[in-house]
């Protein structure tokens, strides 16, 4: 899920507002969250390092993963140092949290599925008739007292 997290400073009010929105479908972005923080506390936490920043940032309603927190920290360090900058937008995609997988390739020893499924052409009519020779129709006798009578 792709997310946009926007940090906005209100220097006069001493408030930092964090707005989170997410792309729920391609092209459809919904606002998810708006949280207010004490700006001075966030500036101090940012200068103290990642651990202090993540502890100050996380709340019951906004609890980003460690990867997301790391990206937010890295992209807001300069933002908190510069009083003139009022907004910063950070984009985060959940896929970034997963390690890159190697592209799967068949080895020479691997058996290809197409070769297994190929028709060998040796099926004889007699073999097919043997399989289909039995009558599969259920038969009942008058003495049969089961619930599944004709």
- Annotate the chain with DSSP letters as a single string: -EEEEEEEEETTTTEEEEEEEEEEETTEEEEEEEEEEEHHHHHHHHHH-HHHHHHHH--SS----HHHHHHHHHHHHHHHH-SS--EEEEEEEGGGGSPPPPPP---SSSPPHHHHHS--S---HHHHHHHH-S-------TT--SS---
Q: Say yes or no to pLDDT of 15 above 80.
A: yes
Q: What is the pTM of this model?
A: 0.64
- The predicted-structure confidence for 117-148, as pLDDT tens digits, reads as follows 666 556 666 566 665 566 667 666 666 666 65
């Amino acid at each position: 899920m792709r997310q946009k997290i926007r940090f906005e400073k209100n220097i006069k009010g001493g408030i930092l507002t964090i707005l989170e929105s997410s792309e729920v479908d391609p092209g459809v972005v919904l606002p998810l969250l708006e949280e207010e923080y004490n700006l001075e506390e966030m500036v101090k936490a940012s200068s103290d390092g990642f651990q202090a920043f993540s502890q100050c940032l996380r709340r019951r309603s906004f609890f980003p993963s460690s990867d997301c927190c790391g990206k937010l920290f890295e992209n807001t360090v300069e933002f908190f140092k510069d009083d003139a900058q009022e907004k910063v937008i950070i984009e985060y995609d959940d896929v970034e949290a997963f390690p890159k997988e190697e592209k799967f390739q068949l080895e020479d020893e691997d058996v290809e599925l197409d070769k297994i499924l190929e028709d060998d052409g040796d099926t004889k009519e007699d073999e097919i008739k043997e399989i289909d020779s039995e009558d599969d129709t259920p038969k009942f006798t008058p003495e049969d007292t089961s619930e599944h009578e004709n």
